[in-house]
Structure 1
Amino acid sequence: MRLLLWLLRGLVFFLLLGFALKNDGIVTLRFFFETEWRLPLIAVILLTFVVGVLLGVTAAVLTLRNQRREIRRLRENASGASASVSAISVRDTPPADYLRSL
């Protein structure tokens, strides 16, 4: 199984390497105020991929942080609620007219 996984990784690597070698043409990125960059196409694709990954990871980390805060707050509320419930005295025997109320 490990060998198969490494073969798959090698195949993906060589496919991406071939893609990079076939797309080595220079492209011009034009920005505002007549600013422009001249880069190989593969660099533009790689840069776009990296920026996308960074934005995705940032969004995931922020979501996880907010969820952990919410879980912590809910646990604190639940422990406070269970303490107040345990403070209420509960009778061991039902009231005398319990059977008539059914």
Structure 2
Amino acid sequence: MRALTWLFRAFLFFVLFAFALNNQHEVDLKWFFGHETRAPMVLVVLAAFVLGCVFGVLAMVPSWWRQRRAARAPRPSAAEPAPSPAPAPSATAESLALPHPPRDGV
């Protein structure tokens, strides 16, 4: 399994390396108000990828904090079970029987 992981990593490295070699030409980046910059295409793509990762992580931070807060909140322990609702009374033969009329001698 480790060899397969390293093979995948090597393949990914060579694909990205070939991408970088094929995109060495310079591109014009046109900013606001007439500003213009020239940069290699591979650096522009890399910068866009890094900015996307940073924005993605920053978007997940509030959710991570909320989950950490929930994980640190005290929970009821196993020694103190939560109160359960009272069971409904069950119908038995004695409770369903009709009342007997009173006897004279008793």
TM over 0.5: yes
* Structure 1 gap segments, 5+ residues each: 80-84, 87-99
State the Cα distance separating 1:58 from its structure 2 match. 1.1
State the Cα distance separating 1:19 from its structure 2 match. 0.6
Which residue of the partner structure matches residue 11 of structure 1?
Answer: 11
- Structure 1 ranges of 4+ moved more than 2 A: 66-69
Letter paired with 1:10: A
Q: Which has the larger radius of gyration?
A: 2
Letter paired with 2:40: P
* Larger proportion of helix: 1
Q: Does residue 1:22 correspond to 2:8, yes or no?
A: no
Q: 1:40 & 1:4 partners in 2: Cα distance?
A: 33
Identity %: 42
- Please report the TM-score for the alignment, with normalisation by the length of structure 2: 0.64
Q: 2:45 & 2:5 partners in 1: Cα distance?
A: 26
Q: Residue 33 of structure 1 aligns to a residue in which SS? A: helix
Q: 2:46 & 2:71 partners in 1: Cα distance?
A: 39
Q: 1:42 & 1:17 partners in 2: Cα distance?
A: 10
C-alpha distance 72-8 of structure 1, shift in aligned 2 (>3 A): closer
Which residue of the partner structure matches residue 43 of structure 2?
Answer: 43
* Structure 2 gap segments, 5+ residues each: 77-81, 84-94, 96-106
